[in-house]
Chains A and B, each alone.
Chain A
Amino acid sequence: MWKAIRYRGGQSLVLVLISALVATCAAFAPLFSRSIDQALLRATLGRMEAADLKLSVLASRTQDPTLTAESVEQAMPANLSTFYDAGLAMTTAESSVVPTPGKKPSPVRLVARDEVCDHLTISTGACPADKDDILVSAPDAKAWGWTVGHRLEVTRPEAAPTAYTVSGIYEAKDDPDYWLRTEVQGKSGKLLEFGDLVPGIDDFIVAPDGLVAGWSNAQLSVDYPLKTSTITLDSLSRAGAAVAAIRPPTDASVDSPLPTIAANVDKGQSLVRQLVPLLIAQLVAVALAVLVLVAGAAVAQRRPEIAVSRLRGRSRDASRRLVMAELGFTVLLGLPLGVVLAVGLSELVRRFILPPGVPFEFGWQVPVAALVAGLASLAVVYAAARPVLREPIASLLRRVPPATAARTLRLGDVILLVLAAVGVVGIVTGQVSGPMAILTPTLLALAAGALLGVLVVVVATRIGQRSLASGGLGSALAGLAIARRPTTRHVLLVVTAVSALVVFAANAVSVADRNRENRAELTVGAFGALRVGSKDPTAVARVVDQLPAGQREHAMPVGFVRQRDPDSTTTLAARPEQLRRIAYAPPAQAALDLDAIALPDQQPLILEGDRLTARAAYDLSGVGVGFGPAPQGWVGAWEPLADPSRALRVGITVTTPSGEVLTRDIGALPAQGKGTITLTAPVLCPQTCRLQSVWVQLAQGLEIDAVKGTLDLSGFALDGKSLGIDDPKGWLEPRGEATSPSGGSGGVVIDPATGLPMENVEPLVDSIALAAAPSGGLRLTFSNTGRNAAVSRADAPELTPAVLSGRVPSGGTVEKFDIQSLAGRTTPATGVQQVPALPYVGNRGALVNLDLMLRLGGRLPATGSMEVWIDSQFPGGVDGAQKALRDRGIEVLSVRSLAEDKRLLDESATGWGLLLGLFTAVLSLLLAAVMLVVVSMTTGRVVTRDIAALRVAGVSGRDLRRAAVRESLAPVLLAAVVGAACGVAGAVLAMPLIPLFDTPAPVPALDLTPAWLVMGLAWLACVLALTVVASVLALRAARRGDTDRLREAW
Chain B
Amino acid sequence: MVNGLPVMTAGLVHIYRAEHHDVAALAGVDLSVAAGEMVALLGPSGAGKSTLLTLFGGLLRPSAGRIRIGDHELSRMSEADLDSLRGRDVGIVLQGAARNLIPHKTIRENVAFAQGSVAKSSDVVPVDDVLDLVGLRERADASLTSLTPGELQRGALAVAVSTRPGLLLGDEPTSQLDHEARDQVLQTLSAINREWGTTIIVVTHDPDVAARMPRTVTIRDGRVGAEGREGEEFAVVSADGSVPLPPHVLATLTPGTLVRLVESEQGWILVRDELEEETDGQAL
Q: Which residue of A lies closest to B94 (CB)?
A: A397
Instruction: Give residues of chain B (105-154) contacting chain A, Cβ–Cβ below 8 Å.
Output: 105, 113-114, 116-118
Binds B, one of A25-33, A284-292, A303-311, A940-948: A303-311
Do B116 and A312 touch across chains, with their CB atoms under 8 A apart?
Answer: yes
User: Which residues of the partner chain A approach B99 to less than 8 Å between Cβ atoms?
Assistant: 304, 307-308, 397
Q: Pick from A6, A307, A315, A318 the residue with the most CB of B within 10 Å.
A: A315
Do B117 and A314 touch across chains, with their CB atoms under 8 A apart?
Answer: yes
Instruction: Give residues of chain A (518-552) contacting chain B, Cβ–Cβ below 8 Å.
Output: none
Do A313 and B94 touch across chains, with their CB atoms under 8 A apart?
Answer: no
User: For the complex, what is the distance from the CA of A313 to the CA of B92, rounded to whole Å?
Assistant: 11
User: For the complex, what is the distance from the CA of A392 to the CA of B58, rounded to whole Å?
Assistant: 11
A314-B83, A397-B99 are contacts. A7–B59 as well, Cβ < 8 Å? no
Q: Render B239-263 as a binary contact track against A, CB cut-off 8 A, 1 for contact.
A: 0000000000000000000000000
* Pick from A310, A311, A313: contact of B88, CB under 8 Å: A313
Report the minimum CB–CB distance from A574 to chain B (whole Å).
80
Do A311 and B103 touch across chains, with their CB atoms under 8 A apart?
Answer: no
Q: Which residue of A lies closest to B54 (CB)?
A: A394
Q: Which residue of A lies closest to B58 (CB)?
A: A393
Q: Which residue of B lies closest to A8 (CB)?
A: B104
Do B92 and A3 touch across chains, with their CB atoms under 8 A apart?
Answer: no
Do B101 and A308 touch across chains, with their CB atoms under 8 A apart?
Answer: yes
Instruction: Give residues of chain A (1-24) contacting chain B, Cβ–Cβ below 8 Å.
Output: 3-4, 6-7
Do A312 and B59 touch across chains, with their CB atoms under 8 A apart?
Answer: no
User: Which residues of the partner chain B approach A305 to less than 8 Å between Cβ atoms?
Assistant: 102-103
Q: Render B69-92 as a binary contact track against A, CB cut-off 8 A, 1 for contact.
A: 000000000011001111110001
A7-B104, A397-B59 are contacts. A311–B94 as well, Cβ < 8 Å? yes
Report the minimum CB–CB distance from B132 to chain A (whole Å).
20
Do A7 and B87 touch across chains, with their CB atoms under 8 A apart?
Answer: no
Do A312 and B103 touch across chains, with their CB atoms under 8 A apart?
Answer: no
Interface size class of A (residues with CB under 8 A): 20 to 34
Do A310 and B83 touch across chains, with their CB atoms under 8 A apart?
Answer: yes
Report the minimum CB–CB distance from A286 to chain B (whole Å).
31
Do B102 and A314 touch across chains, with their CB atoms under 8 A apart?
Answer: no
Task: Determine if B175 is an interface residue (Cβ-Cβ < 8 Å).
Answer: no
User: For the complex, what is the distance from the CA of A6 to the CA of B103, rounded to whole Å?
Assistant: 11
Task: Determine if B226 is an interface residue (Cβ-Cβ < 8 Å).
Answer: no
A311-B94, A312-B113, A397-B59 are contacts. A3–B104 as well, Cβ < 8 Å? yes
Q: Render B157-187 as a binary contact track against A, CB cut-off 8 A, 1 for contact.
A: 0010001000000000000000000000000
User: For the complex, what is the distance from the CA of A392 to the CA of B86, rounded to whole Å?
Assistant: 14
Q: Pick from A6, A304, A311 the residue with the most CB of B within 10 Å.
A: A311
Q: Which residue of B lies closest to A7 (CB)?
A: B104
Do B87 and A312 touch across chains, with their CB atoms under 8 A apart?
Answer: yes
Report the minimum CB–CB distance from A793 to chain B (whole Å).
100
* Pick from A314, A393, A397: contact of B87, CB under 8 Å: A314
A308-B100, A394-B54, A397-B94 are contacts. A313–B59 as well, Cβ < 8 Å? no
Do A312 and B104 touch across chains, with their CB atoms under 8 A apart?
Answer: no
Do A312 and B80 touch across chains, with their CB atoms under 8 A apart?
Answer: no
User: Which residues of the partner chain A approach B102 to less than 8 Å between Cβ atoms?
Assistant: 305, 308
* Pick from B103, B113, B117: contact of A7, CB under 8 Å: B103
User: Which residues of the partner chain A approach B60 to less than 8 Å between Cβ atoms?
Assistant: 392, 394
User: Which residues of the partner chain B approach A3 to less than 8 Å between Cβ atoms?
Assistant: 104-105
Do B59 and A6 touch across chains, with their CB atoms under 8 A apart?
Answer: no
User: For the complex, what is the distance from the CA of A312 to the CA of B109, rounded to whole Å?
Assistant: 13
Do B104 and A313 touch across chains, with their CB atoms under 8 A apart?
Answer: no
Report the minimum CB–CB distance from B141 to chain A (whole Å).
12
User: Which residues of the partner chain B approach A6 to less than 8 Å between Cβ atoms?
Assistant: 104
Instruction: Give residues of chain A (283-329) contacting chain B, Cβ–Cβ below 8 Å.
Output: 304-305, 307-308, 310-316, 318
A3-B105, A393-B59, A397-B59 are contacts. A311–B86 as well, Cβ < 8 Å? yes
* Pick from B92, B100, B116: contact of A314, CB under 8 Å: B116
Do A313 and B84 touch across chains, with their CB atoms under 8 A apart?
Answer: yes
User: For the complex, what is the distance from the CA of A635 to the CA of B92, rounded to whole Å?
Assistant: 150
User: For the complex, what is the distance from the CA of A393 to the CA of B94, rounded to whole Å?
Assistant: 12
Do A312 and B117 touch across chains, with their CB atoms under 8 A apart?
Answer: yes
User: For the complex, what is the distance from the CA of A312 to the CA of B86, rounded to whole Å?
Assistant: 6
User: For the complex, what is the distance from the CA of A308 to the CA of B101, rounded to whole Å?
Assistant: 7
Q: Pick from A307, A308, A314, A392 the residue with the most CB of B within 10 Å.
A: A308
Q: Which residue of B lies closest to A3 (CB)?
A: B104
Report the minimum CB–CB distance from A10 to chain B (whole Å).
14
User: Which residues of the partner chain B approach A307 to less than 8 Å between Cβ atoms?
Assistant: 99
User: For the complex, what is the distance from the CA of A393 to the CA of B116, rounded to whole Å?
Assistant: 18
User: Which residues of the partner chain A approach B101 to less than 8 Å between Cβ atoms?
Assistant: 308
User: For the complex, what is the distance from the CA of A304 to the CA of B156, rounded to whole Å?
Assistant: 14
Q: Which residue of B lies closest to A396 (CB)?
A: B59
Report the minimum CB–CB distance from B19 to chain A (whole Å).
10
Q: Which residue of A lies closest to B101 (CB)?
A: A308
Report the minimum CB–CB distance from B145 to chain A (whole Å).
10
Q: Render B39-66 as a binary contact track against A, CB cut-off 8 A, 1 for contact.
A: 0000000000000001001011000000
Do A313 and B103 touch across chains, with their CB atoms under 8 A apart?
Answer: no
User: Which residues of the partner chain B approach A393 to less than 8 Å between Cβ atoms?
Assistant: 59
User: For the complex, what is the distance from the CA of A312 to the CA of B88, rounded to whole Å?
Assistant: 8
User: Which residues of the partner chain A approach B94 to less than 8 Å between Cβ atoms?
Assistant: 311, 397
Report the minimum CB–CB distance from B183 to chain A (whole Å).
25
User: For the complex, what is the distance from the CA of A486 to the CA of B159, rounded to whole Å?
Assistant: 34
User: Which residues of the partner chain A approach B159 to less than 8 Å between Cβ atoms?
Assistant: 312
Report the minimum CB–CB distance from B173 to chain A (whole Å).
15
User: For the complex, what is the distance from the CA of A358 to the CA of B167, rounded to whole Å?
Assistant: 72
User: Which residues of the partner chain B approach A315 to less than 8 Å between Cβ atoms?
Assistant: 79-80, 83
* Pick from A4, A311, A314: contact of B104, CB under 8 Å: A4
Q: Pick from A3, A313, A392 the residue with the most CB of B within 10 Å.
A: A313
Q: Which residue of A lies closest to B106 (CB)?
A: A3
User: Which residues of the partner chain A approach B57 to less than 8 Å between Cβ atoms?
Assistant: 311
User: Which residues of the partner chain A approach B88 to less than 8 Å between Cβ atoms?
Assistant: 313
User: Which residues of the partner chain B approach A394 to less than 8 Å between Cβ atoms?
Assistant: 54, 59-60
* Pick from B54, B87, B100, B105: contact of A313, CB under 8 Å: B87
User: For the complex, what is the distance from the CA of A393 to the CA of B60, rounded to whole Å?
Assistant: 8
* Pick from A4, A304, A312, A397: contact of B114, CB under 8 Å: A312
Instruction: Give residues of chain A (378-396) contacting chain B, Cβ–Cβ below 8 Å.
Output: 392-394
User: For the complex, what is the distance from the CA of A311 to the CA of B87, rounded to whole Å?
Assistant: 7
User: For the complex, what is the distance from the CA of A392 to the CA of B83, rounded to whole Å?
Assistant: 11
User: For the complex, what is the distance from the CA of A615 to the CA of B57, rounded to whole Å?
Assistant: 134
User: Which residues of the partner chain A approach B100 to less than 8 Å between Cβ atoms?
Assistant: 308, 311
User: Which residues of the partner chain A approach B104 to less than 8 Å between Cβ atoms?
Assistant: 3-4, 6-7
Do A311 and B105 touch across chains, with their CB atoms under 8 A apart?
Answer: no
Q: Which residue of B lies closest to A311 (CB)?
A: B92
Report the minimum CB–CB distance from B14 to chain A (whole Å).
11
Report the minimum CB–CB distance from B45 to chain A (whole Å).
14
User: Which residues of the partner chain B approach A4 to less than 8 Å between Cβ atoms?
Assistant: 104
User: For the complex, what is the distance from the CA of A669 to the CA of B54, rounded to whole Å?
Assistant: 134
Report the minimum CB–CB distance from A311 to chain B (whole Å).
6
User: Which residues of the partner chain B approach A392 to less than 8 Å between Cβ atoms?
Assistant: 59-60
Do A313 and B80 touch across chains, with their CB atoms under 8 A apart?
Answer: no
Report the minimum CB–CB distance from A314 to chain B (whole Å).
7
User: Which residues of the partner chain A approach B85 to less than 8 Å between Cβ atoms?
Assistant: 313
User: For the complex, what is the distance from the CA of A897 to the CA of B163, rounded to whole Å?
Assistant: 85
User: Which residues of the partner chain A approach B79 to less than 8 Å between Cβ atoms?
Assistant: 315-316
Report the minimum CB–CB distance from B176 to chain A (whole Å).
11
Q: Which residue of A lies closest to B103 (CB)?
A: A7
User: Which residues of the partner chain A approach B86 to less than 8 Å between Cβ atoms?
Assistant: 310-313
Instruction: Give residues of chain A (606-662) contacting chain B, Cβ–Cβ below 8 Å.
Output: none
List 18 interface pairs A-B (beta carbons < 8 Å), by A numbering. A3-B105, A4-B104, A305-B103, A307-B99, A308-B102, A310-B86, A311-B94, A312-B113, A312-B114, A312-B116, A313-B87, A313-B114, A314-B87, A314-B117, A316-B79, A392-B60, A394-B59, A394-B60
Interface residues of B (CB under 8 A from A): 54, 57, 59-60, 79-80, 83-88, 92, 94, 99-105, 113-114, 116-118, 159, 163
Beyond contacts A305-B102, A313-B86, A316-B79: 14 other A-B pairs, Cβ-Cβ < 8 A, are: A3-B104, A6-B104, A7-B103, A308-B99, A308-B102, A310-B86, A311-B100, A312-B86, A312-B87, A313-B84, A313-B117, A314-B83, A397-B59, A397-B94
